[in-house]
Structure 1
Amino acid sequence: MVAEDRVLHNLAVTANACGGVERLMPHVKTHRAAWLVRLLLAHGVGAFKASTLAEVEMALAAGATRVTWAFPTVNPQNIGRFVELAKAYPDAELTGLVDSLHGLNVWTGLLEGAPRSVNLRIDLDPGMGRTGVPMDESALALAGAVAGLGRLAGWHLYDGHIRGAFAERQVKVSKLAETLDALQSTLRRDGIDVDVVGGCSYTFDLWPRSAMSHVSPGTWVYSNAQHLRELAHHDWIAAGFVLTTVVSTRNGTSTLDAGSKAISPDKPQAQRFQGVGEIVMMNEEHTVIRNDTLNAGDRLLLVPEHTCTTAYLYSNALVRALDGRWEYRDQLGNERSVVPLTR
């Protein structure tokens, strides 16, 4: 279940935290819903980030004109598909990521004849150790090679490993900003002036605009139990829930009809949701919680620990619209493939 007014509340406080809605580049993997892309576009968001080609196409079909595919793939079939999308949506700016010369070589062969609207960002590794080129001379060499193609959009920096107290995060971001500034200064001396996109839910408000033009906090759209606990200063509120029913009660416990197939399957069992009591056990279709006040038939709203992997489980959502009406709205769910282009 999704409350549209709560989504707009979260948008307002997130935009305020980063200095303006025009600076946001929200990640659509949080919801995978075209109606939410349209809603955010209508309220001033102009750029989006996606993980999969299905998400890229969904955002474009919903009207987005600036989409970054934040996945440094070396798969030629997927890169070719991305170029096809650029041709099908000629008014959109599409940006991919590279973090190696091998990846750039794959892109180079497929960019011949591609629209000028397709560009690349250098994916930097700020210490997370997942993807990205080190923030040193190798990053500059790769940026120079992409600039030589006339396709350099700038840098991409995802710092999702940064956690801890506010002051700790602030220190880590400041150090990264210094390293990034050194890279930028070197490029400018070579006559190359580009921007940076990145950040995460724990850092987006700490990056100065002078260092990072667009920030990409993640699950703020629906928020989640983890961020409500750890990032309470943002005043986010839960906007996406899993609606469940109590199907049985006994011995101080209640059994819900929402199991591991329904909510936050990537989190430890005891932490998959909040709001109704301690989780005693969970299987695919049921969860037993410790509670002696509920009755069979009671309906509950669970706040997921992780909304991204929860929304991924559903092909539609029951939405309370701004006018109070309830309606089902489609979303991609676990769809990863794309259908043939029709434009």
Structure 2
Amino acid sequence: MTANADLIGQPGGARLLTTPALIVDGELLERNTRSMVELAAKAGMKLRPHAKTHKCSELGKRQIQWGASGLCCATPHEALVMLGAGIGDLLLTAPVTQPRQASAIAAALQRLCPSGQPCEFSVVVDSICGIELWEEALKGARLQINALVDLDIGMQRTGAPDSPAAIELATRLSASPSMKYAGVQAYSGLVQHIESFEERQRVYGTHLQKLKAVLDGLRAAGLAPTIVSGGGTGSFPIDAASGLFNEHQAGSFVFMDVEYGRVAWGTSMVPFDVSIWLRGHVISQNHPGIATVNLGTKSLSSDSFAPGVRGQPDWTFQFFGDEYGKLQFAGPGEPLWGKTVDFVLPHCDPTVNLHSEYHVLHGDTLIAIWPIDGRGVL
């Protein structure tokens, strides 16, 4: 039993949570997802939100109920967890190089996909070696998975570097007995948090020019991609206007955080609501203008900005150690000893990975606790 399970359904129970507690507003999760599904559809795209943001099969299933076409996964472990929850329409967005991981996924797909039936599961590849690894893992499985050629459009992390390399991979996939060439993936994480919309347009524009050139090369070679998948929350307005994508991989929109709160959206999209926060308690207040809370680097990601203090824009947070944070405010401040304080996450994805469960609220009532079951390594 989790620490707060006894509070589920108790009116006002949210105020009694043992902390640190990662909290989500169930209504805002749904509103954010339905809004993004609608925005994507208006731009001629399906929404395939990235589960790396939430790492939760229960939330993933609900996103599909709310209109998403399927999910993206960043790691084989995330994919296995989603498959185990019965979600088969997945795209594994990073190349796999470990045979044990590919074999585990192939075994899970055999259990989920009836023999001879189409399999919705998709992977990306950026090398011939990667294709051969999957073919070996799928040997004897009597199923075919979809494969997208991963393109490097400017980030230099993964992906085929140019049109000839992409054509070579697409040609090889077209002849594969166990993999179906389904299209391409193009993602640039470098641009997602560029705060100026104009600067983001300028930098990302060069990446999209490269994508267009590769797409033109594939079409000229008779290898037109059925799926062009990619993009993120920060690039969504630009992706929507480009007309290059028919599937979008935005993930952080479902939660939002301090980083995305600093990003300018231009005039084409309304920012989403912050639907997640971390609740802590004040454990000491013995000096003017400061108080100590029971959460530090073990509870909040420290790779970007400091967290925001929800409802208190003039208060600031400073990391005070592994388990502690320092609240700072003007003057002596009101008595806070034992009171709860809520924090807007600095960077949602890595903060989520520090916790084992979501506390789902409706008003001040705890209605459910969802495990963050996609954490970990296969």
Q: So what's the TM-score if we normalise by structure 1?
A: 0.89
* 1:90 to 1:238, Cα distance in 2 relative to 1, 3 A: same
More relative contact order, 1 or 2 (CA 8 Å, 6+ apart):
2
CA RMSD of aligned residues (A): 2.4
Q: Is the 8 A contact 1:320 1:326 kept in 2?
A: yes
Partner residue of 1:121 out of 140, 148, 157: 148
What whole-Å deviation, never above 9, does each CA across 1:298-339 have from its counterpart, x for those lacking one? 1111001111111111111111148955332222264323xx
In 1, Cα distance between equivalents of 2:372 and 2:142: 29
Corresponding residue number in structure 2 for 1:180: 211
State the SS of the aligned residue for 1:241: strand
Q: Is the 8 A contact 1:86 1:117 kept in 2?
A: no
1:272 aligns with 2:306: yes
State the SS of the aligned residue for 1:19: helix
* 1:322 to 1:253, Cα distance in 2 relative to 1, 3 A: closer
What whole-Å deviation, never above 9, does each CA across 1:103-141 have from its counterpart, x for those lacking one? 223223223333434122111111112111213311221
1:204 aligns with 2:231: no
Deviation, 1:287, is 0.7
In 2, Cα distance between equivalents of 1:71 and 1:116: 21
Q: Is the 8 A contact 2:197 2:263 kept in 1?
A: no
Amino acid at match of 2:323: E
Corresponding residue number in structure 2 for 1:326: 367
Amino acid at match of 2:222: G
What whole-Å deviation, never above 9, does each CA across 1:204-223 have from its counterpart, x for those lacking one? 23224742111111211111
Partner residue of 1:289 out of 327, 344, 366: 327
In 2, Cα distance between equivalents of 1:101 and 1:335: 28
1:223 aligns with 2:256: yes
Of stretches 89-98 and 307-316 in structure 1, the one that deviates more from structure 2 is 89-98
Corresponding residue number in structure 2 for 1:36: 59
Corresponding residue number in structure 1 for 2:9: none
Q: Is the 8 A contact 2:147 2:173 kept in 1?
A: yes
Deviation, 1:53, is 2.1
Point out where structure 2 has 5 or more consecutive residues left out of the alignment.
Answer: 1-22
Corresponding residue number in structure 2 for 1:111: 138
Aligned pairs for 1:1-343 within 5 A: 1-20=23-42, 23-90=46-113, 92-149=119-176, 151-162=180-191, 163-194=194-225, 195-208=227-240, 210-231=243-264, 234-249=270-285, 250-267=287-304, 271-275=305-309, 276=312, 277-291=315-329, 292-294=332-334, 295-321=336-362, 325-332=366-373, 334-337=375-378
* 1:330 to 1:98, Cα distance in 2 relative to 1, 3 A: same
In 1, Cα distance between equivalents of 2:89 and 2:318: 45
Of stretches 21-30 and 156-165 in structure 1, the one that deviates more from structure 2 is 21-30
Point out where structure 1 has 5 or more consecutive residues left out of the alignment.
Answer: 338-343
State the SS of the aligned residue for 2:121: strand
Corresponding residue number in structure 2 for 1:341: none
Equivalent residue pairs, number? 334
Deviation, 1:237, is 1.4
* 1:129 to 1:318, Cα distance in 2 relative to 1, 3 A: same
Deviation, 1:173, is 4.1
Deviation, 1:143, is 1.7
State the SS of the aligned residue for 2:62: helix
In 2, Cα distance between equivalents of 1:188 and 1:240: 43
What whole-Å deviation, never above 9, does each CA across 1:125-162 have from its counterpart, x for those lacking one? 11112111213311221221112215212111111112
Deviation, 1:246, is 0.7
Amino acid at match of 1:47: G
In 1, Cα distance between equivalents of 2:158 and 2:339: 45
In 2, Cα distance between equivalents of 1:136 and 1:200: 23
Deviation, 1:81, is 1.3
Amino acid at match of 1:212: F
State the SS of the aligned residue for 2:342: strand
State the SS of the aligned residue for 1:26: coil
Deviation, 1:199, is 0.7
Q: Is the 8 A contact 2:153 2:210 kept in 1?
A: no
In 1, Cα distance between equivalents of 2:204 and 2:348: 25
Q: Percent same amino acid at aligned positions?
A: 23
Deviation, 1:68, is 0.7
In 2, Cα distance between equivalents of 1:63 and 1:323: 31
State the SS of the aligned residue for 2:228: strand
In 2, Cα distance between equivalents of 1:67 and 1:220: 19
* 1:83 to 1:173, Cα distance in 2 relative to 1, 3 A: same
In 2, Cα distance between equivalents of 1:147 and 1:167: 39
In 1, Cα distance between equivalents of 2:186 and 2:82: 21
Of stretches 60-69 and 174-183 in structure 1, the one that deviates more from structure 2 is 174-183
In 1, Cα distance between equivalents of 2:215 and 2:301: 39
In 1, Cα distance between equivalents of 2:141 and 2:219: 27
Deviation, 1:171, is 4.0
